[in-house]
Homo-oligomer: A and B are copies of this chain.
Amino acid sequence: MTLTPEAQAEIDAQRARPRQTLRAVSEGMEAHLYSARPVLDHGFVRVIDYMGDDAAICQAARVSYGKGTKSVQNDEGLIRYLMRHWHSTPFEMCEVKLHVKLPVFVARQWIRHRTANVNEYSARYSILDREFYIPAPDALNAQSVVNNQGRGELLEGAEAARVLDWLKTDSMRAYDHYAAMISDEGQQGLARELARMNLPANIYTQWYWKVDLHNLFHFLRLRADAHAQYEIRVYADAICEMVADWVPFAYKAFEDYRLGSVTMSAQMMDCLRRMLKGEEVTAENSGMSKREWREFEGVLG
């Protein structure tokens, strides 16, 4: 990712002028503000604004007049309790606004998370940049043979080269024709809202995305998961790092009770209790389908 000198100058200008506020301030998040953290070959995530910090979660949970802080230890304990017992509304009291540059096919997955605010760069109104996602060699995988919606081994040799060549040349040709169609030199020039339909799903778009912390955690749990597509997971991973600096207690609780947690079904709990009593439990006497049993073995390591 390379920002234009103009974009970089605007970012530098924003970072150069601290102002005074009476609001809650998270030093960890101030350090991230406006900077563009690179993701994939041309994408980025940058924090535009945020509201609240760990103490604000406690303040709302207690509906208190002051900061809501009795002590730092107290705050961490309360936050962990809230997370563990699915008391989600205090986490909704923090909010973050991000500027994200991402391929269209990633944007199409991302937008499915409805409880968020979005302003996307308009290709009806403006001209898109000539920037396309081309996978790095270590992200160019074959279809998985066990999972219908996953990836398997890396592509190699001539096949990998052929795929990369097609992705690049088709993108470039599509963009050349896009540019030629909208040009008004010596012709009328096709409407932008029509011309954009020639562009493939690996072109980059941009948006402002604003979300509360509870819904962001829900997004991260699904998209930072090992089953998520790699190209959206890298965005989720980048955001995780920012959130860890913004609300460290809440993020740690999220790691322990969501990201690293396992949901055991009624059948799994039953088997578990039998196993702890020393009983031999097998796929056959578990009461689970083969697939569930495999998943059960997986989580027990």
- Which residues of A come within 8 Å of B, CB atoms? 3, 6-7, 10-11, 13-15, 17-25, 30, 33-34, 48-52, 56, 59-61, 63-67, 77, 80-81, 84-86, 89-90, 92-93, 95, 97, 99, 103-105, 108, 111-112, 114-115, 117-122, 124-125, 133, 135, 140-144, 148-153, 155-156, 159, 162-163, 166-167, 170-171, 173-174, 177, 180-182, 184, 187-194, 196-202, 206-208, 210, 212, 222, 227, 229, 255-257, 259-269, 272-273, 275-276, 289, 291-292, 295, 299-301
Contact = CB atoms under 8 A, between A and B. Distances in A.
B60 A119 contact: yes
A199 B124 CA distance: 19
Contacts of A212: 117, 210
Given A149-B125, A153-B188, A256 B262 contact: no
A28 to B, nearest CB: 13
Contacts of A155: 188, 190
B51 A97 contact: yes
Contacts of A93: 97, 117, 119, 208, 210
Given A19-B25, A266-B260, A191 B144 contact: yes
A65 B265 contact: no
Given A114-B114, A198-B201, 17 more contacts: A7-B66, A10-B64, A18-B22, A19-B21, A51-B97, A61-B119, A89-B118, A92-B117, A95-B210, A114-B115, A143-B184, A143-B188, A153-B188, A166-B180, A174-B200, A201-B201, A261-B264
Most chain-B Cβ atoms within 10 A of its Cβ — which of A18, A190, A229, A269?
Answer: A190
B275 A276 contact: yes
